[in-house]
Amino acid sequence: VCKVGGTLARLPLHVQGRISRLVGEIAVASQLWRIYSSSNMDLHPSLGGCYNIRAAPGSGGCREARDGACVRYAEEARAEAKEKLSAGACEEISGGGPNTCKTCRAVIGGVSYCSACNVDSSTESAPVDGQCTTENNECPKKSAGVCTQCDHASFMFQGGCYRTGQDPGQAMCTNAASGVCNAAAAGYFLPPTEHRDNLHQSVIPCGDVEEIAVKDNKKYKGVLHCAQCNTPNPASDTNAVAATCTACEDGYFVASAACTKCHESCLTCEGGNGADKCKSCTANTYFLGAENGQAGKCVSCGDASGSTWKGVDGCLKCTKSTSESTPATCTECQADRYLKDGSPASCVTAATCNTGYFPNDNAGGKKKCLPCSDNNNGGIENCAECSLLPSASGSSTILITCTKCSKNNLSPLKNECMTTCPAGTYETGSINKVCTPCHTSCSSCSDAGESSCTACYPGHVLNKTDSLDTGTCIPECTGKFAENCGANQCTAVLGGSKYCSKCKSGYVPVDGLCVSTTARAPNGCTPSNDGTCSTCTDKYFLQSGGCYLSTAYPGSTLCSQAASGKCTQCANGQTQSSGSCPACPAGCSKCSGSTPSQQCSECLAGYYKSGTKCVKCDTDDSNIKGVPNCISCAPPANNQGSVTCYVTQTPTVDPAGPSANKGGLSSGAIAGISVAVIAVVGGLVGFLCWWFICCGKA
């Protein structure tokens, strides 16, 4: 079979085999080929001519030909030979010494083995099990580098003797005695008994059409493209007799003692070469439109036009459905489509992969339209609706922005569905819950207003509105929290912030404020004579000289339950001692162990956990990077990289700096001083204006 270069022009031929006449023309893979009858199956086209691979010069370029095309080039064969030499593969060495191979024509299981060895005047070697040797046990007689007789449990094949109990011999023959094969392996056949001996080849490949001369000069051959065959009737003359083929290679079927090519869409077929005779299909881009065991057409996975055995529009690869009325199951879509799971699965464009889904170009090596909640492939757990990030790629990171959660709360960064909202945010919405940012001064709040804080970041205290649990957050030890507090007595620490621990005479600390003892006894406190509380009452507890209500902020940050003026249950994870709670290390909201080896288990707002300690969100620690001006954060996964920052704040005044108001003046006093200064300046300006006017008239 020789290719005609796309035209019907005269074909130049250089022929080493026996070519007799033109018998037809066929089109294969958009190329035109001319067919010539030949007694040799191993012709292949090259440079406009046909060459015999079993003789020079064809053997120098190709080692295996099929359908008129070289399927295994000499260079490939040489490379394979070098890789497999230790396993018995063959390497030709022209003019080499004894025990080196001269020709490699014995092909077994796709691997070339030696068919003739190099010899010299003193050493006679021949192939045994495909390798050159001088041994005489299996190959007692040799001549010209080949075995001329085999013995024991071996048999002759292509110039060598092969044993049945090991590779590669057992791939051709399963039983041999006295140098003759008695039972062929699958894919091989035996000449009739009367034409087998140990001086000739006694097993022949089913698909090899080379005429093999055996005993009594009879000849046998296989059938082109045959995979399984039986022994034929004995030859009556010198004409070669072909095996009886029972099964062909994929792509062919048995017809009139030959293997005829199936329809191009069929991998295997039965009873003809029509498109409806397929038993299996060429690739997973097709599926067989027939009940199991039946013949039918191979349907393209993307062909959804039929009434039965339909594919899926835009599908590239698929598997057959169990019913003719159900579309195939698509496993991979065409290049411009994304596979979307469903019943059945569908192939959609990126533009139509929306409303709860997002397109991923590399989900397990395939393009898929995935639910927003697929957190294994770039989605977010519990996310119900999302949009693709502009720079989304790959499958190991988050590829989407979540806009709605199916459960829990949407993170302020829209990259998580959170069980609880982080510090600095509050929960909004009754169904589609969202973590909405508070005013930047609040660590928790009831809404976004500046006066709606319910808790503050460390270093700040809650200045509550009268009779309400909300207020504004102001720097610790300022405003009314500094009024009537003793000098340098703002030392009690609750929730990371400082409160007055000892008041001026006539006042005592209750909930961090100095309240008067002259009018009536303050709630929760039994005053002592030194500006502190000696004991507490009811649900208050004693801490650093003051009484704090366990059911309200800031007392609730330290004690969760109190009775008869003593804390009975600490909120910071410690065990109460004499009605008070030991403090945790700086930054910790909860800790375990006892001083000085306490270990943080939870952190205050504005801190993240690193090992057994808590670190400010804007500070680096070990392999964790802080974020500048961050006041609400979470540590990164595996404690590697930057913190996840939920809230940032750029302070105008550093509460710890010298410009902070820490002199103990109340906000009312500061306002009064400001008004007085403005009045003085205004009066001075008025006087100067009058003076200049009077002088001008004079």
Digit-coded pLDDT (tens) for 673-682: 333 434 444 5
Q: Report whether pLDDT(21) > 70.
A: no
Q: Write down which residue in 605, 631, 663 finishes a domain.
A: 605
Can you give the pLDDT at residue 666?
35
> How does residue 343 score in pLDDT terms, banded at 50, 70 and 90?
confident
501 and 537: one domain?
Answer: yes
> How does residue 438 score in pLDDT terms, banded at 50, 70 and 90?
very high
> How far apart (Å, rounded) are the C-alpha atoms in residues 114 and 621?
69
Can you give the pLDDT at residue 18?
31
> How does residue 520 score in pLDDT terms, banded at 50, 70 and 90?
confident
Q: What is the 3-state secondary structure (H, E, C) of 255-287?
A: ECCEEEECCCCEEEECCCCCCCCEEEECCCCEE
Q: Write down which residue in 417, 448, 469 finishes a domain.
A: 417
* Strands 366-371 and 338-340, bridge-based pairing: parallel
- Domain with 411 in it: 357-417
Q: Report whether pLDDT(344) > 70.
A: yes
Residue 498 lies in a domain: yes
What residues does 428 pair with on adjacent strands? 434
Tell me which residue of 160, 166, 208, 212 sits closest to 187, measured CA to CA: 208
503 and 589: one domain?
Answer: yes
- What is 291-328 written as a DSSP string? -TT--BEEEETT---SSSS---TTEEEEE--SSTTS--
Amino acid sitting at position 206? C
561 and 632: one domain?
Answer: no
Q: What's the total number of domains in the chain?
A: 5
Can you give the pLDDT at residue 94?
86
pTM across the whole model: 0.61
Q: Report whether pLDDT(59) > 50.
A: no
Can you give the pLDDT at residue 174?
97
326 and 286: one domain?
Answer: yes
Amino acid sitting at position 224? L
CA angle 381, 386, 388 (to 5 degrees): 110
517 and 596: one domain?
Answer: yes
Amino acid sitting at position 632? S
Contact 333, 347 (CB under 8 A): yes
Tell me which residue of 40, 7, 70, 23 sits closest to 15, measured CA to CA: 40
- In tens, the pLDDT along 523-567 reads 899 999 999 999 999 999 999 999 999 999 999 999 999 999 999
Residue 543 lies in a domain: yes
Arithmetic mean of pLDDT, 373-387? 95
DSSP tag of 677: H
Tell me which residue of 125, 67, 122, 65 sits closest to 93, measured CA to CA: 125
Q: Report whether pLDDT(71) > 80.
A: no
- In tens, the pLDDT along 132-175 reads 999 899 999 999 999 999 999 999 999 999 999 999 999 999 99
494 and 589: one domain?
Answer: yes
Of the listed ranges 25-34, 394-403, 480-489, the one predicted with least confidence: 25-34
Strands (E), 68-114: 69-73, 101-103, 106-108, 111-113
Peptide bond into 554 cis (omega under 30): yes
> How far apart (Å, rounded) are the C-alpha atoms in residues 212 and 687?
133
Residue 15 lies in a domain: yes
> How far apart (Å, rounded) are the C-alpha atoms in residues 541 and 562?
6
Q: Report whether pLDDT(39) > 50.
A: no
Peptide bond into 344 cis (omega under 30): yes
Residue 382 lies in a domain: yes
> How does residue 20 score in pLDDT terms, banded at 50, 70 and 90?
very low
490 and 596: one domain?
Answer: yes
298 and 401: one domain?
Answer: no
Read off the tokens for 284: 């997973």
DSSP tag of 424: T
372 and 403: one domain?
Answer: yes
Tell me which residue of 463, 487, 472, 542 sits closest to 509, measured CA to CA: 542
Task: Name, in order, each residue with C-beta under 8 angstroms of 618's C-beta and a sequence gap of 6 or more.
Answer: 626, 627, 628, 629, 630, 631
Residue 34 lies in a domain: yes
Residues recorded for the chain: 698
Read off the tokens for 614: 């808590």
> How far apart (Å, rounded) are the C-alpha atoms in residues 288 and 277?
10
Residue 181 lies in a domain: no
413 and 322: one domain?
Answer: no
Can you give the pLDDT at residue 84?
44
Q: Report whether pLDDT(123) > 90.
A: no
Long-range contacts of 533-536 (CB under 8 A, 24+ apart): 533/508, 533/509, 535/565, 536/562, 536/565, 536/566
- In tens, the pLDDT along 245-285 reads 999 999 999 999 999 999 998 999 998 999 999 999 988 89
649: alpha, beta or left? (left if phi > 0; alpha if psi -120 to 50)? beta
Read off the tokens for 620: 């680096």
555 and 622: one domain?
Answer: no
Arithmetic mean of pLDDT, 292-306? 91
305 and 342: one domain?
Answer: yes
Of the listed ranges 30-39, 119-128, 435-444, 536-545, the one predicted with least confidence: 30-39
Higher-scoring residue by pLDDT: 22, 375: 375
Read off the tokens for 438: 């508070």
Residue 529 lies in a domain: yes
Residue 675 lies in a domain: no
Tell me which residue of 268, 246, 267, 264 sits closest to 255, measured CA to CA: 246
> How far apart (Å, rounded) are the C-alpha atoms in residues 81 and 313?
46
Q: What are phi and psi of 45, to 5 degrees?
A: -80, 140
3-state secondary structure of 664: coil
Q: Write down which residue in 371, 399, 417 finishes a domain.
A: 417
